[in-house]
Amino acid sequence: MQKYTLTMRLLHWFMAILILGLIATGWYMEGIPRDAPNKYDLYSWHKSFGLTLFLLVLVRFIVRITSKRPSLSEKMPSWEKQLSRAGHFFLYLLMFFVPLSGIIMSDAGGHPLNFFFTSFDILVTDKKLASIGADFHAILPYVLLGIVVLHLFGVLKHKFIDKDPELDVLKKML
């Protein structure tokens, strides 16, 4: 059985942890009352890891198009292959647009971007653009999480329902 390259596997698992951590942190931050003295303590870390995710998505996309990937099994029905391709397309799309919407929301909103121990601006302050970014940043993580859950269901289906080693995509990613 052909596996994904080590680079692809490391990027996959690191980004999975990063995405779930960022979504959980975002939910937590939204739950902190607006007048709490520590309301914004986590925001710079959330932005730093969000920018890290954004950069890793670009790296991962380049690695994906330049690396040899295992092909989908001939035993897999065509509808599952199409669903897999669509799911991966939307995962990549959302992994790009969720952090991008956060960048737009923050930077256009007049709040500098944080990348760990440095801050910078790339956009001019534009409250309307920031509001659009905020609207997308409020919704897209839920869509991303939904597709991640479907992705997991597919992996678990192949592992525990199909029980065919040739269809076990988890082994290709471990």
Tens of pLDDT along the chain (174 residues)?
789 999 999 999 999 999 999 999 999 999 999 898 888 889 999 999 999 999 999 999 999 999 988 888 888 999 999 999 999 999 999 999 999 999 999 999 999 999 999 999 999 999 999 999 999 999 999 999 999 999 999 999 988 998 888 878 888 898
Residue 112 is predicted with a pLDDT of: 94
Residue 97 is predicted with a pLDDT of: 98
Residue 141 is predicted with a pLDDT of: 97
Residue 110 is predicted with a pLDDT of: 96
Q: pTM for this structure? A: 0.91
CATH of 6-173, one of 1.20.950, 1.10.405, 3.30.365, 1.10.4030: 1.20.950
Residue 98 is predicted with a pLDDT of: 98
Letter for the amino acid at 165?
Answer: P
Residue 172 is predicted with a pLDDT of: 87
CA distances from 5 to 11, 20, 59, 169 (A): 10, 23, 14, 14
Residue 163 is predicted with a pLDDT of: 81
Residues 6+ apart with CB under 8 A from 92: 57, 60, 61, 64
CA distances from 109 to 14, 55, 132, 146 (A): 29, 21, 10, 28
Domain layout of the chain by residue ranges? 6-173
